[in-house]
A and B are shown apart, each in its own frame.
Chain A
Amino acid sequence: MSAPSTTSITLPTPADPATPKGTAMYTLDKVGKTYRQSSRIVTALKDVSLTIPAGQMVAIQGPTGGGKSTLLQMLGALDRPTSGDVRLGDDVLSKLPDRKLAKLRAKEIGFVFQGFNLIPTLTAQENVETALEPQGVPAEERRRRASDALAQVGLAERAGHVPSELSGGQQQRVAIARALVKEPDVLLADEPTGNLDEQTRDEIMDLLEGLWRDRGLTLVIVTHDSAVAKRAERRLRIAGGSVQEI
């Protein structure tokens, strides 16, 4: 294997000293989000106050249109709240410029999507490498780390295949490898098993849960599948823009 500093991916990562397990990873204070659709104003989030400790696995459930994806966008620094503050560690996401948010996403946050969202023309290996691109990781190291990440999700032999040559479960594994190759503090997943059959769903959940345990990740999973939600330490329900603990 390679040098110890790079084999860490296969070992449980010690929790980030800045965010030791139990301290707040996310702090949301009266977060509101409205969308303007021509003349109509849609309220997607209403005064959401919430703390998510580092290392916690949280499931977010709720009806379609309830605001699950919007909440995940706030957590993922993809968008700014209309009112209130979102804190990630010491950073107030709502106050950072776009460039800083992009940097933060590049380093701290991993995303897994319902539709896998792989680049269709790139191979599995190259798709994973795209996550290291913004950090300017040298090509050699990038290649090695991407291979390691693919091996970890059990897809070492499929590295040269493009997404259309992979099954849904395999594509989601590539997406998970892409999210984790940069060794983020947080993994956010929006309906990661929504497009998968039950058996594949369980495999993917086993993988995510294993990674969460091994690495001390903060894992937030949006799902309407109770079987998925049951695996989480904490369950939230969001409907009409308001959050409730279950």
Chain B
Amino acid sequence: MFLTYLRRELAGRRRQTLIVAIGMALAIALVMIVNALSGGVRDAQASVLESVYGVGTDITVTQAPTGPGEGGPGGGRFEFGAEDGETDDAEGSTTVSDSRLTTGMGTATFDDTALDTALSTEGVADAAAALSLSNTTFSGELPDFSQLQGGGGAPGEAGAEAPPTGGADGAGGSAFDVDSFTVLGIDPAASALGPLSSAAVTEGRGLEAADAGADVALLDSAYATTAELAVGDTIDVGGTTMEIVGLVTADTADASTGANVYLPLDTAQALAGLEGQVSTVYVQAASSTDITAVQASLEEALPEATVNTQEDLASSVSGSLSSASTLVSSLGLWLSVAVLAAAFLIAVLFTVSGVTRRTREFGTLKAIGWSNRRVVGQVAGESLVQGLIGGALGIVIGLVGIGAITLIQPTLSGSAGSVQAFGGGEAPAAAAEAADRMGLTGDGGPFAAATTTSDIVLTAPVTVSVVLVAVGLAVLGGLVAGAIGGWRASRLRPAEALRSVA
């Protein structure tokens, strides 16, 4: 009887059933899509972070630079003196070459005893240290400026005035190569944690314990392609020639690894003149539930250091990925809450108005002996089934929406701020200025290789939890409407049956 009555009611009042179900369906679909998208954004953020911090890193320990420009020795400023090049009077130009290995801007180094401190902290499963550096090589030929003074033009415009002789192109012009790449010194023995844990060696070999102190390097395969370098070639890092022993590729298809060049930690420390110094300690907690506790212990043990969890790090991911994250988490959340509230309201209003309209019907049922419980159950049952129809419809619409997103494959780019050579500040400005001064067109060519930006196709994964959320909301909506409608029905007096017909 319960089911017959329920079926007849829902079928007999089809329009109301449909309105309520569609309202619920749209809300549930939206929640599903937002839910799936935020899962996708989280995955994307995780993969950007992974490319920088590696797999399994729960916490990073860094230190804030003490002040602008004090990030490390050299600060990345280009200074050319006569001693940097040699003047070839016959050619009428000066050849300059400068290669510097410095800490990146915004990176401070600290004593590597922090690694031992981290390893001995309770709840820490593993830890590894790395030194993040930036190598900038500036090489080329300058025309003999003294020759140009007579022309009265700026050096870069010299060619337009009285054509001078000399210079690389023989017309008084300049030819420069500004090559900048990021360098990461890593413990060659510890590959399970840290930046390379998410990367695979695609050519040659990885770093091994025996490489400690050796002049060997691994290259990010994307950078190797750009720089036209291969295994067996050499690369100049901080004025020292390194043998390229392997290429690494990030696990995530579209992402690049955290740095362009990887060196054994002590080699990097020696080259940069930073013995015993590191810039990041990667920490893995024994259990994911310990992370907050470990973070607190580390902050206590290393009062100078900045201790970040993955969650903190996620906020350091910038680019369109970060905008998407904000969009999904704020707008998406509020939109789904608003639409959901509207759908629930519609369901409640329709149910309540339905109960009011059926006052005489429920009064009659009570008059012929139906218990309150039975009447309330009928109202609640109808609402619940209406909600479930909406839920089923919503899952279909939601899956179609998620499918559409998957088909469109929106691409987001994200970069994580901590291992960049040109993270902002003085160095890029100085470099750009220098490039300008030398008449280089600033398409960012030489600098592009130095940024750690990943393009990531946004996915909207349909997880069990996404579907469970939808079903849960459908049930909840049905129950809320049913509870309110049922409460109204329970208050109807059986005497309503005798109310005179309108």
Contacts and interface: CB of A to CB of B under 8 A. Distances in A.
Given A111-B367, A117-B360, A73 B372 contact: no
A123 to B, nearest CB: 8
B1 A133 contact: yes
Given A76-B367, A105-B367, A115-B501, A98 B9 contact: no
Interface string B112-127: 0000000000000000
B382 to A, nearest CB: 11
B364 A78 contact: no
A106 B8 contact: no
B493 interface: yes
A185 interface: no
Interface in B315-365: 360-361, 364-365
A113 B1 contact: no
Q: What range describes how many residues of B lie at the interface? A: 20 to 34
Contact of B374 (A79, A113, A133, A190): A133
Given A105-B369, A131-B368, A119 B498 contact: no
Contacts, number: 95
Interface in A135-189: 135, 139, 142, 178-179, 182
A8 B228 CA distance: 102
B497 A113 contact: yes
B8 A126 contact: yes
A142 B370 CA distance: 15
Given A106-B368, A129-B1, A130-B365, A78 B493 contact: yes
A134 B5 contact: no
Q: What range describes how many residues of A lie at the interface? A: 35 or more
Interface string B483-502: 00000000001110110110
Interface in B451-502: 493-495, 497-498, 500-501
B226 interface: no
Nearest to A108: B369
27 contacts: A69-B500, A73-B495, A73-B498, A79-B494, A102-B366, A102-B370, A103-B369, A107-B369, A109-B369, A111-B364, A113-B364, A115-B360, A115-B501, A117-B360, A120-B12, A121-B12, A122-B5, A122-B8, A126-B4, A126-B5, A130-B1, A133-B370, A133-B374, A134-B369, A178-B368, A182-B369, A195-B501
Which 7 residue pairs are nearest across A and B when measured between Cβ atoms? Answer: A106-B369, A121-B12, A115-B501, A121-B8, A117-B364, A134-B369, A105-B369
Given A76-B367, A106-B369, 12 more contacts: A98-B372, A107-B369, A110-B368, A117-B497, A119-B361, A120-B12, A121-B5, A121-B11, A133-B1, A134-B371, A135-B369, A139-B1
Interface of B: 1, 4-5, 8-9, 11-13, 360-361, 364-372, 374, 493-495, 497-498, 500-501
Interface of A: 69, 72-73, 76, 78-79, 98-99, 102-107, 109-111, 113-115, 117, 119-122, 126, 129-131, 133-135, 139, 142, 178-179, 182, 190, 195
